[in-house]
Chains A and B, each alone.
Chain A
Amino acid sequence: MLNPPQRAARKIKNLLPITTIWWREIIRFYRQRSRLFSAIAQPLVFWLLIGSGLSASFQPAGAADGPDYIEYFYPGIVVLVLLFTSIFATISVVNDRREGFLQAVLVAPVPRWRIVFAQALGGTTLALLQGLLLLIFTPMIGIRFGVTSLLLSLGVMTLLAFGLTNLGLLIAWRMDSTQGFHAIMNLLLIPIWLLSGAFFPSTGVPGWLAWAMKFNPLTYGLAAFRHSLYLDTTAKAFGEGPPWNLSLLITGLFCVLTYVGAILTASAQTN
């Protein structure tokens, strides 16, 4: 049996690798400031251009008492920022594990689940920070935060960022080249976002599309985020979305499954 100080020492020894890998992700990001700009500027430009452009001519289906398109589009843009940041944070894994810092991490006596957890935590932190920056725009579109809605929104954002980072890790640990990663991103990740209700609601879309949206985990993540954003604001109709509790449940499940998937992939790729 270990005495308390020994147990404390072991705990620190187990935590150190996690904090150090996490901290490295943060420092790297801070020192490559162009990343910060690109991950946030692109969605912002999308939002302002597409949002303003479509506001004039389109009314989201099923939204009778009319949120502007720019307002409808906003939660989707926050999720896009989370998606971009998480994905860019994980793309470094592709090169890093074959010709970089990760090689040394992989031969160190650190279990794979701790490595993946630390990486996911790093991506989540970065995504969350950038998502927070975007919350500045909420007053502009008439969202008012109370304590509950703010905390809940942050909670949902954390879940989404963690799930998306793990999804990114799951792909990155499998890839041999960053080109492959970009291909997956265009073929899989962007469509997942497009079909999550970020761009248009599922009400009134053709049947096959409605089904695709129903099976898309991000649909539920986005719905949960919308719900939490508008908790303290007079609700506007955004068309029929999945119910609040189901959305939260599926988002949580998405986090767990992607995390387990990322661990399994990382373990299978090394030893």
Chain B
Amino acid sequence: MADTKVSHTITTDSRLSTVSNSRIEVENLSHAYQRRQTLDNISFDVSCGEIFGLLGPNGSGKTTLFRILSTLMPATSGTVRILGHDLATEVKAIRNLLGVVFQHPALDVKLTVVENLRHHGHLYGLAGRTLRSRISELLECFGVSDRSTERVERLSGGLQRRVEIAKALLHSPRVLLLDEPTSGLDVATRRQLNNYLGMLAQTEDILVLLTTHLLDDAEACNRVGILDVGKLVAIGAPNELKNQVGGDVILIESRDNETLGTAITERFGVSIVSTDNQLRVECKRGHEFVRNVVAAFPDVIQSVRFGKPTLQDVFVKLTGNPFVERKDRKN
């Protein structure tokens, strides 16, 4: 017990002295593909022990950023340092530090669970007893020990995801990158996974960076970067970001949004954002506003929704766009 404590203190100290060795530092990163800007001057930092989420609708540039960070694609300009290594020149060192979970399964469904993990271990130079014990340790941890000799094609989507993540962790990476890790999972499994990632980041001091278009996933992160058409429009803890939205959020639907919007602005002096077929109002003491607005336009308003701000509201406030896929920018 005492030993553990000591070693923990040492780790913490060495982290403090060599900060850049425990961080991902992205500076002025831009990427253009076929003369189209998919990433536009992005900068952010993530530290070990932290879960960082890149939130954005499909087509916002998340996958491009993910592919650059996972060494699959060079960026057009800007610098990325991963735990002190330059992505442009030290790819091999970086690949040894990375564990990557792709959006599309990277398991061979014709192989068994153990075979998949064994092959993965071999790619990282692990073999023999070390590899065997590491495999059984991870299978145990992810609760798939009893299915280890079955072919992956016989496993459910949720179990396959677990094997996928176990595989990415096999070579004890310091950085775990995940592209839409919860896609295709049911709510319960998704929550379980988010909890597990949180635990992993803290106890193993791993840097976890994930992309998602799901607000729930982003809420579970320590910090979130919001992407919109290649630009990082906000960065911070989920609560911090939500506090930027002024108080409460009210969504109003009517037969004629344009006329109603103008009328509400004139009468109450609040600013209104019109998205899709809704009017969006942010204000303090929202419950009073709801009462007044319904009383003022009883015949025009079809429905009113009142709520505390979510990350979606942050996105809408910052970009003026609805949080949906931008077809013209799909990557």
Binding site for B on A (CB under 8 A): 12-13, 16-17, 19-21, 23-24, 27-28, 31-32, 98-110, 270-271
Question: A20 and B123 in contact (CB under 8 A), knowing A100-B105, A104-B102, A107-B98?
Answer: yes
- Pick the contact of A105: B74, B105, B123 (CB < 8 A): B123
Number of A-B contacts (CB under 8 A): 78
B96 engages A20 (CB within 8 Å):
no
CA distance A105 to B106 in the complex (A): 9
B184 to chain A, nearest CB (A): 13
B267 to chain A, nearest CB (A): 54
Interface size on B, residues (CB 8 A): 31
A104 engages B106 (CB within 8 Å):
yes
A108 engages B124 (CB within 8 Å):
yes
A103 engages B106 (CB within 8 Å):
yes
- Pick the contact of B125: A13, A24, A98 (CB < 8 A): A13
Question: A98 and B95 in contact (CB under 8 A), knowing A105-B123, A107-B70?
Answer: no
**Which residue from chain A places its CB closest to the CB of B112 in the assembled complex?**
A27
Question: A271 and B71 in contact (CB under 8 A), knowing A27-B110, A100-B106, A104-B167?
Answer: yes
Nearest 9 A/B pairs, CB to CB? A99-B104, A20-B122, A13-B125, A109-B95, A108-B123, A104-B106, A16-B122, A101-B108, A103-B106
A112 to chain B, nearest CB (A): 11
B95 engages A107 (CB within 8 Å):
yes
CA distance A23 to B100 in the complex (A): 23
A31 engages B123 (CB within 8 Å):
no
B73 to chain A, nearest CB (A): 6
- Pick the contact of B119: A24, A99, A107 (CB < 8 A): A24
CA distance A218 to B124 in the complex (A): 38
A12: B residues at CB distance < 8 A: 125, 127
Residue among A17, A23, A107 with most chain B CB within 10 A: A107
CA distance A32 to B167 in the complex (A): 24
Question: A108 and B95 in contact (CB under 8 A), knowing A13-B125, A16-B127?
Answer: yes
**Which residue from chain A places its CB closest to the CB of B98 in the assembled complex?**
A107
CA distance A101 to B127 in the complex (A): 19
What are 22 inter-chain pairs, A to B, with CB distance below 8 A? A12-B125, A16-B125, A17-B122, A20-B119, A20-B122, A23-B119, A24-B108, A24-B119, A31-B110, A99-B104, A101-B106, A103-B104, A103-B106, A104-B102, A104-B106, A104-B123, A104-B168, A107-B72, A107-B100, A108-B124, A109-B123, A109-B124
B115 contacts partner chain A, Cβ-Cβ < 8 Å:
yes
B76 to chain A, nearest CB (A): 13
CA distance A13 to B105 in the complex (A): 26
Residue among A13, A98, A109 with most chain B CB within 10 A: A109
B231 contacts partner chain A, Cβ-Cβ < 8 Å:
no
Render B118-140 as a binary contact track against A, CB cut-off 8 A, 1 for contact.
Answer: 11101111010000000000000
B71 to chain A, nearest CB (A): 6
B100 engages A104 (CB within 8 Å):
yes
B70: A residues at CB distance < 8 A: 107
B85 to chain A, nearest CB (A): 12
CA distance A142 to B319 in the complex (A): 79
A19 engages B102 (CB within 8 Å):
no
CA distance A31 to B104 in the complex (A): 22
A15 to chain B, nearest CB (A): 9
- Pick the contact of B120: A19, A28, A99, A104 (CB < 8 A): A104
A98: B residues at CB distance < 8 A: 104
B218 contacts partner chain A, Cβ-Cβ < 8 Å:
no
